[in-house]
């Protein structure tokens, strides 16, 4: 049954633009994400994917034009920490953990700074997030910089969900992973989503996107060229020409 006429999407982006002088990095992008969905975003390098995440989260800048709505409330003018407290968390392409702090301390920081928790409540949320991503107890006291690549991915996601987000924005989390680890990451994404967190996923590893996403949006030169069910989108001639044609080996 289609509830779209009765329920507003959890997240909606309307006609978002981001300009840098004469360069239009994000060009009139619109989409809506229902609660509970894994929503995939793909496109060639330089297509505006990470810039889109930047303007949605205010890190480090907002949009030049357009609106971002969370449960119908405009948030594009809020500061980054206010957007985070409203329920949107994100990860970054590069490792952003505090390398000298323990894994637990990193997750604890996420609970404190993103959810505004403290004390026992923050500790409980940090351990719950680490449980959710499957980081074993014996690794939680290790310095984050001493963890394996995949464990740092687990920690990155745990630190984000410790902030109790409604929506998690993952920016190329499969970077640097082996093929078996990508499969483990897919299971991790499904687990987090199954805990009630809606996910937006930017990824170059197309098999991962196709395996976990219910909806797929393709950007090229900052604009949407296709959006819909993943199996249909990847057959779109514009997508094949702009993106898949260069990456058929990845499939």
CA 181 vs CA 45, 134, 151, 200: distances in Å: 23, 13, 10, 20
Report if pTM > 0.85. Answer: yes
Domain boundaries, the chain: 98-163
Q: Could you report the per-residue pLDDT of 166-200, keeping only the tens digit for each?
A: 999 999 999 999 999 999 999 999 999 999 999 99
Stronger pLDDT, 244 or 232, i.e. the higher one: 232
Q: Give the Cα separation of 120 and 225 in Å (integer).
A: 47
Q: Could you report the per-residue pLDDT of 114-130, keeping only the tens digit for each?
A: 887 788 999 999 999 99
């Amino acid at each position: 049954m289609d509830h779209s006429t009765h329920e507003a999407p959890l997240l909606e982006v309307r006609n978002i633009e981001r300009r840098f002088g004469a360069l239009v990095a994000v060009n009139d992008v619109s989409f809506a994400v229902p609660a509970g969905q894994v929503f995939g975003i793909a496109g060639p390098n330089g297509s505006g994917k990470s810039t889109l995440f930047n303007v949605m989260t205010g890190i480090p800048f907002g949009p030049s034009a357009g609106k971002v709505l969370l449960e119908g409330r405009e948030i594009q003018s809020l500061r980054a920490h206010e957007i985070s407290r409203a329920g949107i968390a994100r990860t970054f392409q590069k490792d952003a953990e505090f390398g000298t702090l323990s894994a637990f301390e990193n997750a604890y920081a996420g609970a404190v700074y993103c959810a505004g928790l403290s004390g026992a409540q923050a500790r409980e949320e940090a351990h719950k997030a680490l449980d959710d991503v499957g980081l074993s107890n014996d690794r939680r006291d290790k310095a984050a910089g001493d963890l394996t690549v995949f464990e740092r991915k687990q920690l990155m996601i745990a630190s984000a969900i410790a902030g109790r987000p409604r929506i998690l924005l993952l920016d190329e989390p499969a970077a640097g992973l082996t093929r078996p680890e990508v499969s483990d990451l897919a299971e991790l994404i499904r687990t987090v989503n199954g805990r009630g967190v809606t996910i937006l996923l930017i990824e170059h590893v197309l098999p991962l996107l196709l395996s976990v996403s219910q909806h797929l949006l393709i950007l090229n030169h900052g604009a949407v060229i296709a959006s819909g069910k993943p199996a249909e989108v990847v057959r779109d001639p514009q997508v094949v020409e702009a993106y898949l044609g260069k990456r058929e080996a990845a499939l």
